[in-house]
Each structure stands twice: as structure tokens, then as C-alpha cells.
């Protein structure tokens, strides 16, 4: 028997095909919210392969533990040599200071709705809506996020629902309305299909 999220998605025939193809997916909270935010900042505007390489070097530099204190204590040149641009060094440090000043953990944001979380995060210089959406899905495990600022999500929806033809964001929202209130799960399937499917 499917859980409510997968049962809801199966009501959409296209999505039911993806659920069968890829099996159940999870939307689970991150063990460490700051680390997850730092990863999203590293990933900004990079290909998956480039982001993975930079992320591994940053983790190595910080001895495998990406904490606000360690980021702020790290040598700026060393962070740049690990592959972070000057701007991203600033952004990760801004995020670290924000975490020291405010409780941006899952517990601290429990009484904030999704938009309030986005507002709190985008108040940090270097954190835009895309990064906030990634945080909502991958750090806070919010179940109904549709990150249309993500190119792979848009391309994936066009691939699955439009045979590759261009769809407007309004049309994409209409497609994803069938996944409510589990659009984060639907998004994960779209990513899987786009990144691993036959195209």
C-alpha cells in the first residue's frame, strides 16, 4: 500500500509511470541544516559534476564537518583554492553568521510557513529563492515545494509533460497542481527522470 504522497502522485498518469520506474522517494530532513545550506550555495549555477568536485574539496578542507564556526575560521584563500569563487566564499560566510545569530534549524523554523522561511533565508546576501527552495526540500523536508527556478525541474517537466516543447511557468504550475500537497515528491521524480532517464 502506498503512503499518502505516492498515492496522490499516482493519480497523475505521467507521474504514476515515474513512480513505477524509480520506486519510492523520500523527502527527509537533513542531519545538519547548515551543512545542507552550504551545499546549496556551493551548487549554485554549477553543473552536478562541478558542484560535486568543489563540494568534496571544501569538505576535505573543513575535515569533513561543515559548521558555521569552521567556515568562519577557515582561511579565505584556502576556500578559494578549494574551488569557491570570491562571491561564494562571502555567501557561505554570510550564511554561517546568520546561523550563529538566528535559529534557522528545522526546529527553529517549525512555526514558519514556507514563504516565511523563504523570506528569512533570502534576507541573507547570497541566498536566493532557488537556494531557499533547496533548503525547504532537503534540510527542512517540506513536502509541497515546487522550485521552478531550477532549470532541471523546468526541463524535466517539459520532457515528461510536453514532449520537450516549451511550457510557461503557469503551465508548469498547472501540471504540478495534481501533485499537491506533495509537490516536493513530484519534483524529486522529475529530477530523477531528467538526470537519469532516456530523455
Q: How sure is the predictor about 51, in pLDDT bands with cuts at 50, 70 and 90? A: confident
The 10s digit of each residue's pLDDT in 79-111 is: 999 999 999 999 999 999 999 999 999 999 999
* Whether pTM exceeds 0.85: yes
pLDDT at residue 198, as a whole number: 58
pLDDT at residue 199, as a whole number: 47
Which domain CATH number covers 20? 1.10.1670.40
Predicted confidence (pLDDT) at residue 1 exceeds the cutoff of 60: no
Q: What percent of the chain has pLDDT over 70?
A: 98
Structure-block grid coordinates of residue 166 = 516549451
Structure-block grid coordinates of residue 75 = 582561511
What is the rounded distance in angstroms from the CA atom of residue 36 to the CA atom of residue 49? 17
Handedness of CA 17, 18, 23, 28 (dihedral sign): negative
Residue 45's nearest CA partner among 130, 144, 132 is 130
Do 39 and 99 belong to one domain?
Answer: yes
Domain count for the chain, please give it. Answer: 2
Crossing angle of helices 129-138 and 114-122, in 10° steps, is 130
Q: Mean of the per-residue pLDDT values for the chain?
A: 94
Do 12 and 96 belong to one domain?
Answer: no
Number of Cβ within 10 Å of residue 83's Cβ equals: 18
The 10s digit of each residue's pLDDT in 107-126 is: 999 999 999 999 999 999 99
Residue 1's nearest CA partner among 198, 10, 105 is 10
Instruction: Confirm if 51 and 42 have CB atoms less than 8 A apart.
Output: yes
Do 87 and 157 belong to one domain?
Answer: no
What is the rounded distance in angstroms from the CA atom of residue 194 to the CA atom of residue 199? 7
The 10s digit of each residue's pLDDT in 148-196 is: 999 999 999 999 999 889 999 999 999 999 999 999 999 999 999 998 8
Structure-block grid coordinates of residue 194 = 531528467
Do 17 and 45 belong to one domain?
Answer: no
Which domain CATH number covers 76? 1.10.340.30
pLDDT at residue 49, as a whole number: 84
Domain residues for 96? 33-138
Amino acid at each position: 500500500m502506498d503512503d499518502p504522497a505516492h498515492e496522490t502522485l499516482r493519480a497523475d498518469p505521467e507521474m504514476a509511470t515515474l513512480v513505477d520506474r524509480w520506486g519510492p522517494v523520500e523527502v527527509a530532513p537533513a542531519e545538519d541544516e547548515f551543512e545542507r545550506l552550504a551545499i546549496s550555495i556551493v551548487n549554485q549555477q554549477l553543473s552536478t559534476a562541478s558542484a560535486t568536485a568543489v563540494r568534496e574539496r571544501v569538505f576535505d578542507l573543513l575535515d569533513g564537518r561543515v559548521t558555521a564556526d569552521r567556515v568562519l575560521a577557515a582561511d579565505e584563500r584556502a576556500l578559494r583554492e578549494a574551488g569557491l569563487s570570491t562571491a561564494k566564499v562571502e555567501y557561505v560566510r554570510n550564511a554561517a553568521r546568520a546561523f550563529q545569530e538566528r535559529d534557522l534549524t528545522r526546529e527553529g523554523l517549525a512555526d514558519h510557513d514556507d514563504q516565511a522561511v523563504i523570506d528569512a533565508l533570502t534576507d541573507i546576501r547570497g541566498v536566493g529563492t532557488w537556494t531557499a527552495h533547496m533548503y525547504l526540500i532537503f534540510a527542512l523536508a517540506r513536502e509541497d515545494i515546487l522550485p521552478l527556478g531550477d532549470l532541471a525541474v523546468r526541463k524535466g517537466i517539459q520532457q515528461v509533460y510536453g514532449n520537450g516543447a516549451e511550457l510557461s511557468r503557469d503551465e508548469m504550475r498547472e501540471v504540478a497542481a495534481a501533485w499537491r500537497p506533495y509537490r516536493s515528491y513530484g519534483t524529486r521524480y522529475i529530477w530523477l527522470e531528467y538526470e537519469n532517464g532516456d530523455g
